[in-house]
């Protein structure tokens, strides 16, 4: 797969993930607002909104972390790295993305195992299988791995370029 094809496919995937995270944030905000209103104004809060909002927050955080890998916006020691020669900067960047990719693979591997273990459990308020909630682990791991490969292939702009 060429750099252009990989970059184009991941660009479309990224836009979809951005839309999904925006939707999750909007729905989560609406649920929490409804929860607070129902609790204090109606004195009758729904039992399921807090649980669903919590699950949405987990999905939002993990999908957002994968987008952070794509955009190169995770915390780094750029002040130190920027003082190094260009070759050292490139070597550090490769090492960082190899490490991030390994973490993505670990999320995939352990996330699948956790999903399998939790599939028979149901959440207390909604009754949905907890395995569904945990599917974000292998999904975000796959995204992190793909975005790391994209960076290693040089298809994504470097956070050190400038």
Tens digit of each residue's pLDDT (9 = 90 or more) over 38-67: 999 999 989 899 999 999 999 999 999 999
Assigned domain for 119 exists: yes
Assigned domain for 57 exists: yes
Assigned domain for 161 exists: no
Percent with pLDDT over 90 in the chain = 65
Domain extent, residue 64, equals 3-153
Assigned domain for 162 exists: no
Residue 1 has pLDDT above 60, yes or no: no
Assigned domain for 158 exists: no
pLDDT of residue 75: 76
Assigned domain for 100 exists: yes
Q: Do 21 and 63 meet the contact criterion of CB atoms below 8 Å apart?
A: yes
Give the tokens for residue 104: 């993505």
Residue 124 has pLDDT above 90, yes or no: no
Percent with pLDDT over 70 in the chain = 93
Section 99-125 average pLDDT? 95
Give the list of residues 6+ apart from residue 21 with CB closer than 8 angstroms, or none.
Answer: 60, 63, 64, 67
Structural domains of the chain, count? 1
Whole-structure pTM value: 0.85
Assigned domain for 48 exists: yes
Section 134-147 average pLDDT? 96
pLDDT of residue 162: 47
Helix-helix angle 3-40:49-71, to 10 degrees: 150
Give the tokens for residue 89: 């900067």
Assigned domain for 97 exists: yes
pLDDT higher for 122 or 154?
A: 122
pLDDT higher for 37 or 79?
A: 37
């Amino acid at each position: 797969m060429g750099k252009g094809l990989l970059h184009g496919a991941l660009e479309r995937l990224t836009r979809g993930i951005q839309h999904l995270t925006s939707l999750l944030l909007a729905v989560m905000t609406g649920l929490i607002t409804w929860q607070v209103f129902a609790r204090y104004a109606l004195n009758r809060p729904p039992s399921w909104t807090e649980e669903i909002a919590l699950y949405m927050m987990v999905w939002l955080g993990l999908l957002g972390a994968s987008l952070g890998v794509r955009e190169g916006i995770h915390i780094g020691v750029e002040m130190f790295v920027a003082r190094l020669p260009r070759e050292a900067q490139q070597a550090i960047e490769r090492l960082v993305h190899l490490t991030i990719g390994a973490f993505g693979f670990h999320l995939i591997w352990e996330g699948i195992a956790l999903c399998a273990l939790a599939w028979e459990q149901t959440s207390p308020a909604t009754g949905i299988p907890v395995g569904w909630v945990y599917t974000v682990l292998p999904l975000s791991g796959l995204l992190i791995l793909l975005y790391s490969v994209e960076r290693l292939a040089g298809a994504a702009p470097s956070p050190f370029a400038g």
